[in-house]
Structures are given as C-alpha cells and as structure tokens.
Amino acid sequence: MSINVSVVIPLYNEDESLRELDQWIKKVMTENQFTYEVIYVNDGSNDKSWQVIEALSEENNAAKGICFSRNYGKSAALFAGFEMAEGDVVITMDADLQDSPEEIPELHSMIVNDRYDLISGWKKKRYDPISKTLPSKLFNGVASWLSGIKLHDFNCGLKAYRKEVVKSIEVYGEMHRYIPILAKEAGFVNIGEKVVRHQARKYGVTKFGLNRFINGFLDLLSIHFMTKFGKKPMHFFGALGSLMFFVGVLSALWVGGVKLWYVFQGVQAERVTESPYFYLSLVSMVLGTQLFLTGFIGELVSRSSSERNVYKISKVIKHR
C-alpha cells in the first residue's frame, strides 16, 4: 500500500510534547483519510524522548523511529528521516508543538494538485521573542536576495516536499536553514510558500542560541559560493587574482616610469620606496599571485573529487 504522507520530525529533548503531537497528527490524518507514517528522529536526546517514541510505536503502527547515538544536529536528523521516508509527500515539522499538524492537508494538496516541488511554511505572525524575529527578518531578506527564491521564512520547520526532492538533496552541517536553496540547486524550481499558524513553545526550551545568526550567515555565504563557483573556483579566484596582479603591474610601471623620466631629465629623483605606488604594487602583486594559486588549488581539489561528474538526470532518450 502506498503511503500518502511521511511526517519527519527531528527532535532533541522533547519528551513532554511527543505524545500530544502524535495524537494530533493521528487525528488530522484520520480525518483526511491519509495513509501516513511519522518518522521520529531522536537526535541524541538525554531525556526520555526515545522511551516515549518506543511506546508510541507500539500503540501506533504509523509511528516509526530513528535513534542517533549522539547529538548530530537538526540537519543530520532531517537527512536520516528523508532517507527512510516512503510517502509521496514528505512533511517536516518541529517536535515542540510550535508547528500545527492542521496545516498538513493543505500542504499535501499544494504538492499533489498544484504541482509544487516544495512548499515552505511562513510564520507570518510569530510567537517568538524579538531577539529572534528581528535578525531573522534581515536574514531572510539576504537569503532571498542571494538565492533569488522569493520566500519570507527560509528556516521554518514546517515544510512539504515532493518525494523526489528529499531523495535528491543532501542536508548536512547546519544547512537545514537553506533547504529551499539546496532544492533549487538540484533543479526543483517550483517552490512556493504558505502562511502557517505558529504557537509559542509549550514545553522545554529552544535548542538554538544566538550564535545561530553568526553560523547561519556563514553558511549562507558558503552555500552561495558553492552554488556559484563550487565547480569552477578558478573563475572566482583567478579573475580576482589576475585583476589584482594587473593593478600591481600598472603601479610598478608607473613607479619605474616616473623614476626613469626624472633620470632622463637629469633631475634628482625621489627614491622609489617613497612613492605610495611602490607599496600598492608590492601588495597587489603578492595578493594577486596568492589568489590565483588559491584558485588553482581549488580547481585541483574539485577535479579530484569523486563527485565531479555526478549529475541528477531526470530524463533520457536513447535508441538501440
């Protein structure tokens, strides 16, 4: 029997909310006559989360579990859940009851009927402290501008995917914030947004501190760089390096030219080391060479990668 919906739930120390969440999901699924599975990914919790999941799986056939032996992070948990998911539509949601399972039917229909590849939730009205909402606004603005994906809330835990999408992307590190970008990179451009209800955290505490913004920003830069130049680092470093080197050569010529001109005039010339162009030329040439070499090394690294010729092919026509 095919499964309509897989719900993937990464969790770290959320034992208080799991039972309530499971019942809520079950209620929504039965009301809408979906065949479903819920995959609880226990990300190395040190409370009773896993015991609760075990108990749930005995009562409810749809409840499945994955238990990490230590805390690897939300991205890793999502990845493991995605590997296991069998449903036609895969929904991710947080375990803390901040996301509402009531959204599932609508999300499912947007994927199945409106042919979206990915729908990202948008917590338009958020129940979080301002220390979180304000930086997050800035953040989403930059992410949306850099990636060209028009979303208001990249990091929303509540998302829906067509099955092929989760099977084609690799969420690692802390990249769970940028899954829409990963999906776009994998060729799934039909990305939409749905305003979702959001609740204040009922039990437990948030698992991400303020350093989420620093790390998140660095990740955004690396993902942007990787998508643009990951397969051709020389195009970035080589261009920049050559440009700098060229500037260096120009200033060296200027310094040398001026000196020669004075000498021919028979005038007492200033020492070359007194000209600012001398230092400009020195620094530019050294930096230019280094950038160029960085590009070259990057190129060597990417060429020797075993994935250099791995492509996601969706269709092929062949004649015998």
Question: Could you list the residues that contact ligand UDP (CB under 6 A)?
Answer: 10-12, 14, 43, 71, 73-74, 77, 94-96, 98, 157, 206-208
Q: Is 225 left (phi over 0), alpha (psi -120 to 50) or beta?
A: alpha
Binder to Mg ion among 4, 13, 98, 168 (CB under 5 A)? 98
Q: Taking the alpha carbons of 200, 25, 158, 43 in that order, is the dihedral positive or negative?
A: positive
Looking at the DSSP bridge assignments, the partners of residue 39 are: 8, 64
Nearer to ligand UDP among residue 94 and residue 117 (C-beta): 94
Separation CA 125–CA 174 (nearest Å): 25
Nearer to ligand UDP among residue 74 and residue 108 (C-beta): 74
Closest Cα to residue 250, out of 239, 258, 240?
258
Nearer to Mg ion among residue 157 and residue 298 (C-beta): 157
Residues present in the chain in total:
320
- The 10 Å CB-count burial string (b at 16+, else e) for 151-177 is bbbbbbbbbbbbbbbbebbebeebbbb
Residue 159 interaction partner, one of Mg ion, ligand UDP, none, beta carbon < 5-8 Å per kind: none
- What lies within 8 Å, CB to CB, of 148 at 6+ separation is 184
Residue 10 interaction partner, one of ligand UDP, Mg ion, none, beta carbon < 5-8 Å per kind: ligand UDP
Residue 238 interaction partner, one of Mg ion, ligand UDP, none, beta carbon < 5-8 Å per kind: none
* CB-CB contact of 8 with 39 (8 Å): yes
Nearer to ligand UDP among residue 207 and residue 235 (C-beta): 207
Nearer to ligand UDP among residue 22 and residue 43 (C-beta): 43
Minimum CB separation from ligand UDP for residue 42, in Å? Answer: 8
Minimum CB separation from Mg ion for residue 94, in Å? Answer: 5
Minimum CB separation from ligand UDP for residue 142, in Å? Answer: 18
Binder to Mg ion among 96, 117, 185, 193 (CB under 5 A)? 96
Nearer to ligand UDP among residue 30 and residue 206 (C-beta): 206
Separation CA 66–CA 40 (nearest Å): 6
Minimum CB separation from Mg ion for residue 202, in Å? Answer: 10
By CB under 5 A, name the binding residues for Mg ion: 94, 96, 98
